[in-house]
Amino acid sequence: MKKPLILVTNDDGIIAPGIRALVEVAAEMGEVVVVAPDSPQSAKGHAITIHEPLRLKKVKVFEGLEAWECSGTPVDCVKLAKHVVLKDRQIDLCVSGINHGSNASINILYSGTLSAAMEAALEGIRSVGFSLLDFSFDADFGPSKQWVQTVMTFLLSRPFQRGQLLNVNIPKLASNDIKGMRVCRQADARWVEKFVEGHDPSGHPYYWLTGEFINNDHGLDTDIWALENGYVSVVPAMHDLTNHEALSTLSALNH
Amino acid sequence: MKKPLILVTNDDGIIAPGIRALVEVAAEMGEVVVVAPDSPQSAKGHAITIHEPLRLKKVKVFEGLEAWECSGTPVDCVKLAKHVVLKDRQIDLCVSGINHGSNASINILYSGTLSAAMEAALEGIRSVGFSLLDFSFDADFGPSKQWVQTVMTFLLSRPFQRGQLLNVNIPKLASNDIKGMRVCRQADARWVEKFVEGHDPSGHPYYWLTGEFINNDHGLDTDIWALENGYVSVVPAMHDLTNHEALSTLSALNH
């Protein structure tokens, strides 16, 4: 049987330990091609580069595997992978991550990792974003690998579903302490921003974004609940942002 | 009665003609504060700036109105507006645009204009992104103004609804040729990318993104249908990206 073609990307950059862990799992399951940013691209959301050219360079980063670094955003990487690197070959699965840090709840909107996966889904490719709830560069991705493998095996063993997209988050726990996996909805949480204010060496003021993540969504069916209770969370996501329930409430605008 | 506090932003930058048209309409309806990027920020999606400081400067751009330019993305502008400029005063409405170019269908994902509106909605603020289907800097925003006013009046005259978000697109037509307004769902269209390949003056290859917008969604209830048939489109949008229908199909992953 032909090995599946698996595209791997991320937003922390091609030398991040998280993508290495993901590549190691993927390499056991199919033909792997890596196209990832040449520098950290966290919090870039669904940004694309339209006002300047992109650079794309073949690099030796993963022993025996084809890998390219790209100067653009994670979404740019997916577009270049599909159209330039893979010249529209059929990609069986796109995996993005493993992100250093949570992309649960509304972080899906800010996350380059998930935006890359979303872009692949828009192209019709089955796609998953993986994130570990540990921001540190030295995060231990060991316990994550079996869960990554579980999700990838699940998708590759089932009939292809156009544009399928999953947001998978993994708690920062030892293997034995992870209780299992839960399919969930996105918690309706939010960031309460703060800005650290200061002055630069020239005396000009600056503002540096920080904030606190607040979850007031107490449902037991959310990703935040799953993660706080020791489970890996799996949220099926989509690119249709229409608030279908609100359509009828706006009918007065039809005229 | 107290005038409503209206925050105005965009992604084309504070000196774009589109935001000027929007400010002119808003100034007739409430107290206006403008916080907008100091340079074009198209296609920045929901990017935020976390690895460097932001600059914020009070500027005189709109006669008699408070206006600030910001070095960050459209989403950064909204965060700074709420927490630094307005110091958490209650914002009654956030309007973003008028964008030079369409943000219908999946363009909502790439658009800085709509991401700014989405960010305001995440903060609980009622919010609208307005876009005119004309990319040119010299686009005629005259015919758009009455539709902007219609939508803003509608929202301000109704009870406050936390996090309400609308994506409004206006066809490039003379006033008399616009047939009316339609509340719609987001069309399931897509971009087919192409990359223009070339070599820079040093001989290094580059790739420049371009593409073609393809709509295979033939529903008569979509924003693309409305726009192609001479109507202003209004899509209620939301930040919950959960594919609720898919939850049950993934139950095998619960373990």
> Between A and B, how many CB-CB pairs are < 8 A?
224
Which pLDDT belongs to residue B50?
A: 87
Bridge partners (DSSP) of residue A231 are A180
- The whole-model pTM stands at 0.92
Which pLDDT belongs to residue B170?
A: 98
Among B68, B179, B193, B202, the strongest candidate for a mutation testing the A interface, having the largest count of A CBs within 10 A, is: B193
Residues of A in contact with B11 (CB under 8 A): none
Which pLDDT belongs to residue A224?
A: 97
CB pair distance less than 8 Å for B46 and A49: no
pLDDT at A38 over 80: yes
Which pLDDT belongs to residue A51?
A: 87
CA dist B121 and B130 (Å) reads 15
What ipTM does this complex have?
A: 0.88
Q: Measured between CA atoms, how close is B87 to chain A, in angstroms?
A: 11
Q: Measured between CA atoms, how close is A237 to chain B, in angstroms?
A: 4
Tell me the helix, strand and coil percentages in chain B, rounded to 5. Answer: 30, 30, 40
Mean pLDDT for the stretch of residues A17-30: 98
Residues listed for chain A: 255
Residue with tokens 């972080």: A107
Which pLDDT belongs to residue B36?
A: 97
CB pair distance less than 8 Å for A83 and B51: no
Which pLDDT belongs to residue A44?
A: 84
Type of residue at A25: V
CB pair distance less than 8 Å for B238 and A235: no
Give A56-86 pLDDT, tens digit per residue: 999 999 999 999 999 999 999 999 999 999 9
Task: Nearest chain B residue to A236 by CA: give it.
Answer: B243
Mean pLDDT for the stretch of residues A44-53: 87
For chain B (255 residues), the mean pLDDT of every run of 10, in chain order, is: 93 96 98 96 85 94 97 95 93 97 94 95 95 96 97 94 94 97 95 91 92 92 97 95 92 88
Tell me, rounded to whole angstroms, the distance of Cα B51 from its chain centroid: 24
Task: Nearest chain A residue to B55 by CA: give it.
Answer: A206
Give me B156's structure tokens: 């301000």
Among A242, A245, A249, A254, the strongest candidate for a mutation testing the B interface, having the largest count of B CBs within 10 A, is: A242
Q: Measured between CA atoms, how close is B65 to chain A, in angstroms?
A: 22
3-class secondary-structure state, position B43 = coil
Mean pLDDT of chain B: 94
CA dist A214 and A190 (Å) reads 5
Which pLDDT belongs to residue B2?
A: 84
CB pair distance less than 8 Å for A186 and B242: yes
Cβ atoms B144, B20 nearer than 8 A? no
| Fold type of domain B5-186+219-240 | Stationary-phase Survival Protein Sure Homolog; Chain: A, (3.40.1210)
CA dist A123 and A201 (Å) reads 46
Per-residue DSSP letters for B51-96?
SS-B-EEEE--STTSEEEEESS-HHHHHHHIIIIISTTPPPSEEEE
Per-residue DSSP letters for B151-195?
HHHHHHHS---TT-EEEEEE-S--GGG--EEEE-BPP--EEEEEE
Task: Identify the sign of the CA torsion B48, B52, B55, B56.
Answer: positive
Terminal-to-terminal C-alpha distance of chain B:
57
Cβ atoms A96, A130 nearer than 8 A? yes
Which pLDDT belongs to residue B55?
A: 96
Architecture per CATH, A5-186+218-238: 3-Layer(aba) Sandwich (3.40)
Mean pLDDT of chain A: 94
Residues of B in contact with A189 (CB under 8 A): none
Which pLDDT belongs to residue B69?
A: 97
CB pair distance less than 8 Å for A54 and B79: no
Q: Measured between CA atoms, how close is A64 to chain B, in angstroms?
A: 24
Q: Measured between CA atoms, how close is A65 to chain B, in angstroms?
A: 22
Residues of B in contact with A208 (CB under 8 A): 52-54
Give A164-204 pLDDT, tens digit per residue: 999 999 999 999 999 999 999 999 998 888 899 999 999 99
Residues listed for chain B: 255
Residues of B in contact with A56 (CB under 8 A): 205, 207
CA dist B102 and B9 (Å) reads 17
CA dist A220 and A79 (Å) reads 37
Rounded to the nearest 5 degrees, what angle is found at the Cα of B61, between the Cα atoms of B56 and B63? 130
Residue A73, judged by CB atoms within 10 A of its CB (0-12, 13-18, 19+), counts as buried
Which pLDDT belongs to residue A43?
A: 80
pLDDT at A47 over 90: no
Residues of A in contact with B237 (CB under 8 A): 241-243
Which pLDDT belongs to residue A113?
A: 95
